[in-house]
Structure 1
Amino acid sequence: MIAVTGASGQLGRLVIKSLLNQTAPSNIIALVRNADTVADFAALGVTVRTADYELPESYAEALKDVDKLLLISSSAVGQRTPQHASVINAAKANGVQLLAYTSILRTDVSPIMLAREHKETEALIAASGVPAVLLRNGWYSENYTENLAPVLQHGAVIGHAGEGRIATASRSDYAAAAAAVLLSNEDQAGKIYELAGDEEFSLSEYAAVVASVSGKQVSYIDMPQQDLTNALIGAGLPEGFAAMLADADAAIKSGWLTDSSKTLSRLIGRPTTPIADSIRNALSTV
């Protein structure tokens, strides 16, 4: 039995769809706070179990008879470590044979603020003794393409990344990788996958691709880190999260969100999704 946390989320849904293409629904457990959010999966025969970070004991019950578990990192930045700890403890108590965790690229040495809770979670996993595999995901292309409406409105991509390179991949690419690891017949325990897109680009190059695909004038505006933080706050983001995103751009400038190993494409058996394709897909909904 393969269980997936956050099964109603953007990545979780894609992982389950990928699993359904390769294994029977009866082998899959969707873990969610609200069962109604995955009614479509239940209709296909996927087992749905309720599990809530605010109720740690719910995971002890939800992980019974689970062989492999995908712990998709919580979206609650700042609260992730204790939330993840509840899942890890329940996995240990239930004798889960493999725990896969979606971390961030080069977590162990990354200076990115967003890496801190991932680093803490990886340490908890190691201390637990649960056999584990780390999926260190790079940046999602959707981090950019989901914000195309204001980019097109203002004709500008803003950032603090300079000409730093980013190797993004689509959520579907990362979901396919998670499914491949969970379904692999090889022993995955102890493995660490540094995952990123095949192609890398700067934000100025990204702006040029957006302009080419959309037929509209779009340019990249590089700005000081604090100015970017203020701009993101002005756009409605919480101050702490805005600071983290600006910090990530500083890390991009220093090369922390690119990787040339092509581990992701090898794992999924195909090239990763080009950024131009992700832009086209996003523009179809703008």
Structure 2
Amino acid sequence: MTYSVNCSILLTELPLLQRPAAAKAAGFDAVEFWWPFASSVPGDAELTRFERAVTDAGVQLTALNFSAGDMPAGDRGLVSWPERSSEFKDNIDVVAGIGGRLGCAFFNALYGNRQDGHTPESQDELAVINLAAAAAGVARIGGTVLLEPLSGAPHYPLRTAGDALRVISRVTGATGAGNIKLLADFYHLAVNGEDVAAVTEKHAPDFGHIQIADNPGRGAPGTGELPLGEWIARSRQLGYAGYIALEYKEPAETAFDWALHQRAS
């Protein structure tokens, strides 16, 4: 099984730039991040420090979020946010640059919350434009844009796989973009009441990336009740060949105990 460690939610006891090396020391060869900078367009020195942290650790960057605003404050993306649309577009070249230099090909574009003063229709129209721009931007490096349903965000409109796939279909139909895929986060889908097994049976070929956490608690695999192993195995059988991203909350000292037990067995 090829796992990737999300260093934005795991190993948080360490400074951000030390986490890729810690993931490597724990036995993993791949990492991913939410947007790791305070600004959507960081300076060259910041970019260099981040990229060196990944390359010096000897790990592969497998996925990266576009800038999503202030996540701790509740922001969930800029794609459909009219007042920050230009900021999102400025971020595209930065993301593609990082991807090109580090060999990363998957980029998560969080859709954004519904905003007061704007109709859902106008925000959705803007999202089509911005997702098409993102798809064109990362296509230059052979990249794929990911679109993710989320839980725990009451103003975020994409809650099911169908919600995200309808947006993808709309963008593809309007612009011809063929490099936008579903990010299937099994935790978010399950928390939102989705039948993840049925989604997998129907849409595994549409999965661009898989992320996992157990429920309840968003903890490590085996701490909750979700049949993550079954869903992963079925996704593989149906053709998903990408990484399985570990995106859960667990103290660093026990974060990967389940994987050690799995390897031992």
> TM-score, normalized by length of structure 2?
0.37
Higher alpha-carbon Rg: 1
Tell me the TM-score normalised to structure 1 length: 0.35
